[in-house]
Amino acid sequence: MLKKQGFIETWHDRRITPGEEFDKAISKNLEEADIILLLVSSDFLASNYCYDIEMQRAMQKHEQGESCIIPVILRPCDWHSAPFGKLLVMPTDGRPITKFPDKDDAYLEVVNAVKATITRLQPHQDTTPPSKSYGSAVKPQILDIPRSSNLRIRKTFLDRDRDQFVEESFRLIRES
């Protein structure tokens, strides 16, 4: 909802386009970030690039007051002695998201932490979503950013599509 309401823009390395320099793209976006989520897992801690380059620069920006880091503990791992171990992590008490019976509860805690951070970083701005007036001539803002790689469009199949699938499947089995 924060993205839809225009409070945040997201970026991750899957948005790097073919031919673009990986390190430059990451560095550029890291420098522009106001809020940095560290998605902490054993893979994150083991990655030389994530830990030694990205996280170290993020910590420098955090300590200089240029951005705010929110560590998000995804899976159980030994994160307490990491440089970000001194920061308040999410979900509450550093409980890994995978340990929640309902992961949506954990993600909601993270969202609320991001909201609180936005409010703290920009207290003079209104952080309530704009009211929608249906039927007005105002068009929604369309951002010119690459499509997120984690989105899917639901495909609706017609009865004809299903029948064709069944016929082709039986034909393939019979011919095998």
> What DSSP element (H or E) covers 70?
strand 68-73
Q: Which of 82, 114, 77, 70 is nearest to 99 (CA)?
A: 77
Q: State the pTM of this model.
A: 0.69
**pLDDT tens sequence across 143-169:** 455 555 555 556 677 778 778 888 888
Instruction: Confirm if 66 and 85 have CB atoms less than 8 A apart.
Output: no
**CA-derived radius of gyration, the chain:** 22
Q: Which of 9, 3, 14, 63 is nearest to 33 (CA)?
A: 9
Question: How far apart (Å, rounded) are the C-alpha atoms in residues 39 and 75?
Answer: 9
- Which residues of the chain are modeled with pLDDT < 50? 127, 130-143
- The CATH architecture annotation of domain 13-130 reads 3-Layer(aba) Sandwich (3.40)
- Residue 143's contacts (CB-CB under 8 Å, 6 or more residues apart) are 9
- Could you tell me which residues are beta bridge partners of residue 68? 35
Return mean pLDDT, the chain. Answer: 83
Question: How far apart (Å, rounded) are the C-alpha atoms in residues 111 and 69?
Answer: 14
Q: What is the pLDDT of residue 139?
A: 44
Instruction: Confirm if 146 and 17 have CB atoms less than 8 A apart.
Output: yes
Q: Give φ, ψ of 7 to 5 degrees.
A: -80, -30
| Token duo for residue 36 | 């940095």
Question: How far apart (Å, rounded) are the C-alpha atoms in residues 158 and 175?
Answer: 26
